[in-house]
Amino acid sequence: DDKTSMARGSLIVLEGLDRSGKSSQCAKLLSYLQSNGFSVEAWRFPDRTTGIGQMISSYLLNESQLDDRAIHLLFSANRWEKRALMERKLKSGTTLIVDRYSYSGVAFSAAKGLDLQWCKAPEEGLIAPDLVLYLDIPPEKAAERGGYGTERYEKLEFQKKVAEYYYALRDSSWEVVDGCLKMEVVEEKLRELAMNCILKCQNGKPLVNLWS
Ligand code: NYM
Ligand code: MG
């Protein structure tokens, strides 16, 4: 056991339907952890800043058409291109708060009718989150929240299917939080769950890969 090695950071993922409040809660959690002196960064997938990310973004904006399997693999590749950096950050003690990850990848593609196991396969070997905070909100409620945007997938009927696949993907890393509660209440719950997770990781919880 290397006593000189630094306690590792945690991989904390927020998941949920479009308009479930993920992005706001990621920002709140980030500033809470930062103001408490933790080394922490906010990431998001898709990461639209890379070459692959730009292809994904243009697809989501309906500016390009792609085969369902091709776009699925691009979303996955967008995570793979960040894997090495992700591992370095975590091992050097930085906690990552990530807005969407492999669960979005599988749920959205499976909702189109692609086989679930086929969808999961390219995610195998990515770093498994230490904690998935799922903001649970009925699709109808999400749709009411200022309405959806114009991006692909932002349609009520489709989001209902996505919700079913998310449900099927739940594992022991998940904590389901009622996204219909007041924003401050959700914020408080996420803080507590994140803090617990960070302590466990500091105390030696091992890093593992998906899907295990
Ligand atoms: N999405 C996101 C996928 O279909 N597959 C993925 O792997 C990921 C990470 O992209 N509707 C979908 C979910 C969203 C859309 O995400 C864009 P955001 O968080 O709205 O930028
Ligand atoms: Mg969106």
* 135: Cβ contacts below 8 Å, ≥ 6 apart: 14, 15, 16, 20, 21, 22, 25, 177, 179, 186
User: pLDDT for 135-188, tens place per residue?
Assistant: 999 999 999 987 788 899 999 999 999 999 999 999 999 999 999 999 999 999
* 29: Cβ contacts below 8 Å, ≥ 6 apart: 12, 14, 97, 187, 190, 191, 194
Query: Which residue has the CA at smallest separation from atom 5 of ligand 1?
Result: 105
First vs last Cα of the chain: how many Å apart?
Answer: 24
ipTM here? 0.98
Q: May I ask the CATH architecture of the domain 11-202?
A: 3-Layer(aba) Sandwich (3.40)
Once rounded to an integer, what is the mean pLDDT over residues 17-44?
A: 97
pLDDT at 3: 46
Provide the residue ranges of all domains of the chain, joining segments of one domain with +.
Answer: 11-202
Does residue 1 carry a pLDDT above 60?
Answer: no
Could you tell me the pTM of the whole model?
0.97
User: pLDDT for 70-97, tens place per residue?
Assistant: 999 999 999 999 999 999 999 999 999 9
Which tokens is 133 given? 């905070």
Residue pair 40/97 in contact (Cβ under 8 Å)? The answer is: yes
Mutational pocket test of ligand 1: of 52, 72, 108, 112, the residue with most ligand atoms within 8 Å of the beta carbon: 108
Report the pocket of ligand 1 as residue ranges, CB < 6 Å. 18, 45-46, 60, 75, 99-100, 104-105, 108, 153
Q: How far is the CA of 45 from the centre of ligand 1 (A)?
A: 7
* 132: Cβ contacts below 8 Å, ≥ 6 apart: 13, 14, 15, 101, 103, 171, 173, 174, 175
